[in-house]
Structures are given as structure tokens and as C-alpha cells.
Structure 1
Amino acid sequence: MWHIQISKRHLTRSHKNGCYTRKWLGVVGLEIHAQLCSNSKLFSGSWVQFSAPPNSLVSFLDASLPGTLPVLNKRSVEAAVMTGLALNCTINKKSKFDRKHYFYADLPVGYQITQQRCPIAISGSLAYSLCVGKNRNHIPKLARIKQIQLEQDSGKSLHDDARTQTLIDLNRAGVGLMEIVMEPDMCCGDEAAAAVRELQLILQTLGTSHGNMAEGQLRVDANISVHRPGEPYGVRAEVKNINSARFLARAIDYEILRQIGVLENGGEIVNETRAFDYKTGQTISMRDKEGKQDYR
């Protein structure tokens, strides 16, 4: 594990907007996964319920039995369109689904049904405010939204260390998600946390998602890189599945410092997927980042 050893002189905060300045600049883009408010899953009639007994809400389609076919949930489409309109997006009159291939035990079919090339909505924006300084002054901010897409959730892996085994719960497999992809318009953890909190309020007001982060109804992936002022953006790392705005801010700020530490010591940043350990406050390498070839 990389241990950060970097002097504070390499990194300061601007009193104006809370961003990293002087020698290095942070660049942050978010992918926010919001569970849609619907009684059934995205492509099956299975019920959606938090904390139900394991594998009690699984249809033949969710379990990937051969010959089963998906049927799109109308309510999920309406919720995505409503959210797109609220976020100043252009709604595509025609959208389609793609297969994102990856192989985990909690994804029985071996691919996720999602959207990439032709999503529900594109080109929107999220207005929010950032509180800075001792007087908690509100600085208006705007994050561009690249697209909003529908996709299905995967199941859940339950690791039993005592018995050295992993159990699979497919209750969540196929639950409808709305992924809101933001452009890299933020520069620090505080900005990202403020944007997520504002989006959470919008979704809850619209009734398109309950947005309960403690129950996994709103999860955030953060794409993070650093670069020197005036130079191109650096190689980014993605920190996955953060379910708290406070942890999101901590993860981003740690990852920016980690990348600066690597570069200051002559190393290179790897395009990879990382996880955030809230107990240690550090990000941990998980795997190489998937590429466009995974979408078919």
C-alpha cells in the first residue's frame, strides 16, 4: 500500500472556492447510481424490498435461467425522463441498451444490461452551492451532466471469513438503477459532496429515487486525477461504490494526495479501479479499469 509522505507546501486550498492550487490541481468527475423508485425490478416482475431474506426476491430472469427474456419497466423509464428534465437534459427520443461484460459470481449471466452509446438523456447540468470559509459563504457552482442512463444492479456477495467462503444473494440482481454521469468539473472532495447532496434532494423531491445512501440506494463512483496548472489532465483512477457524502469527500481528498505523492516521488499513476476503506481513510487498489471493449 502506498503511504502518503508529502509536505503541505505542495498542496494548499484556495480561500475562494476550496480547490487545490499552486503546484497541483485536482480533477474530479462523478458517476452517481440512484436506485429507482419502483416496486419491481428493471426487467422482471420481482419485488424490490430492502433487507428481505436472501434470495427470496429472485425471478427466473434474475437468476439467468436459459430462455427467459427481459421486459422493460415503464415506471423506470418515466423516472429517468423526469430526472433528465429536472437536470436540464436533452431527452433522446430513441435510446437503446448495451451489454457490459464482466464476470462475477453475483452477476449470473456474465454481463450487465446498461446504456452507453444511446442513453435516455444527455447534456444537462446540476447547479449547487459550496460553503467555504469560517463564515460559511455560499459559492454557486455548476456541474455539467454528460448523460443519464438506465441499468440493472448486480447481486450481493457475502464474505464469510470464518468459513473461508462467499455466499451470493441475488435479491438486488436486476434492480433498476439510474446512472448520472457528470463531467470532470469538480476539483476536491467538498465540491463533490455538495453536488451529491444537492442531487439527492432533487431526486427525493421528484420521487424518482429515495436516495437513502445507508441502504445503498445512492452510490457514487469518483474519477480522480491531478495535473500541474497549464498542463493536460493526468491519468485518472476510479474509486468505486461510496455510499456516504462524507466518505466521498474523504476518499477524493485522500486520492488526490496519494496521486500527488506518487508523482512527486517519480512514480506513475495507473488507470485502475480502487475502493475506499473508511476505517483507515485510504483508497485501495482493486483491479485494472475496464475499457470500451467490455461494452457490446
Structure 2
Amino acid sequence: MAEKNVTLVSEFLLIAFTDCPEWGLPLFLLFLSIYVISLLGNAGMVLLIRVDGRLHTPMYFLLGHLSFVDICYSSTIVPQMLEVLLQRGAALSYTCCAAQFFLFTFFGSIDCYLLALMAYDRYVAVCRPLLYVTIMTEKARWGFVAGAYGAGFSSAFVRTITAFSLSFCGDNEIDFIFCDLPPLLKLTCGDSYTQEVVIVVFAIFVIPACMVAILVSYLFIVVAIMRIPSAGGRAKTFSTCASHLTTVSLFFGTLIFMYLRDNSGHSSQEDRVVSVFYTTVIPMLNPLIYSMRNKEVKEALRKVLKRAELY
């Protein structure tokens, strides 16, 4: 390495948004507000599901885990981003960068699997209603969730080991809000083809595989809904899936734009905006989407607020 005059990177410098220092404080306050709302909303959803017996169903069981993972997911990224905005840059050691990459991939993968499981839950509820209780048992629910966490860990572990077996040399500045794969690949030196293939293959087992599962589930759901004779019945059945469809569209839409596209012709600024959306905004929107569109959640929330007023 000395003959090639190459210095290996021992730390990374996050410099996102530092090109506009006058926006540092306003963006800090904005993202801090979004983060606080996200924490309160998702934590409130978890507590609401636990305290209200009417929400002790498979769908809300999965939603509770989705809210918990969203708390962990955004907490992996947003505090670091706030430090970057406040201090106009932040240094991360090689180990901390790898840990952040692992946690982001871990919780992001679980989000994908949980959304796919929620689509399967809706498929069983709409297409196999008489078997719903026997299929979505408590044991099955815990098995599904454990599988999601296990698959997320395996994917994150392999991708992190593979990504950080690459050689990073020369420039250590990451024009991004956290240690994500696309900006890290720009800092690599040497042949990284094999590692990139492994990373892409494991990405295929998460994003596209979950999307296929969701699309197939909703294909059967749409067919089942179209067979319902009354328009009111079709609308009522479809409304039970509306919140999940909204969340899926927002989450997977941004992931596709970020990870399953041709990287040529796209600026770092576009990537930053998209990454802020799926790491910060979507975790905040999920509890709002489910609370506004689900009658059971709104009724449970009113019940809890009435109890609070009595005290």
C-alpha cells in the first residue's frame, strides 16, 4: 500500500447540508420537530395497542411491531443528522459507521418484512375469512415476527460484513446524512465487483421479494373485493387495506428510487432529500396514517383520552 501511496480511511466525515450553512438551524429545528412527533406517535401507537383489548388482533399486533421498529429505525439516523446540522459536519469512526450501517439495514429490512406480513394478514382476512382465526394464531404471529427479525439480522450482518470488507482510501467525506451504501461505494478503491454483487443479491431478497409478496397478496384481495356484490361492501372491505397500501406506497416508492435505479445522472442533493423522506418523514407519517384511517384506532384513542380527562 505504501508503494501506491494510498492512505486507508480510518474515519468518515458526514458533510450533508454543510454547503448551505444558513439553513443549518432551521433544518435542525424542523427535523427535531419531526423526530419528536415520530417518537411520540409511534410510542403512543405501541401503548395504545397494548392497553386496548379491541386492538389485540393480528393486524394491530404487526402494526405495534412496525411502530417499535420505526422508533429504532429513525433513532439510528436522525440524532446523527441533527449533529451534522448543528455542528456543520460530524466525524464517525470506521466502527461507528459500520454499526450505523448495520442498524439501519437491520431495522429497514424488518420494516420491509413486516409490511409484507401485514399484506399477507389482509389477504387471509379478505380471501380466507373463515380460516383467519386458525391461520393467524398467537403462535403463528410470534413466529412471523421472529422470522422477520431473524431475516433482517441475517441480511444486515452479511451486507455489513461485505460492505466493510471493501477498501476505503483517499477522500473520507460523505455528502450524505448517514453511512449508507451508495455514498460509501463512491469512496472505495480497488476491485469491489464481487462485494457489490453480494450486496445487490441480498438487497433483492429484501426489497423486490417483499414487493412481490405484497403485490401477489393484493392481487388476490382485489379479485376477492370485485366479487362482492354491493358497492358498500366493496368499499368497506377495501377501507381495511387503505392504510397499509398508503404506507407501502410511500416506503417502497422511496426505496425503489434510492436503491433500485440507475445511479447515473442523479445528484447527491436528490439522494439526500429522498433519504430524509424515508428515514425521517415516513416513520412520522405511519402512526398518523393508521390513526386517521382506522376506526378502531380512533375509538381506542378517544377512550384513552377520556380516561386521562377523568384523572
- TM-score (normalizing by structure 2): 0.26
Structure with bigger gyration radius: 2
Greater helix share, structure number: 2
Greater strand share, structure number: 1
Q: Which has the higher contact order (CA 8 A, sep 6+)?
A: 2
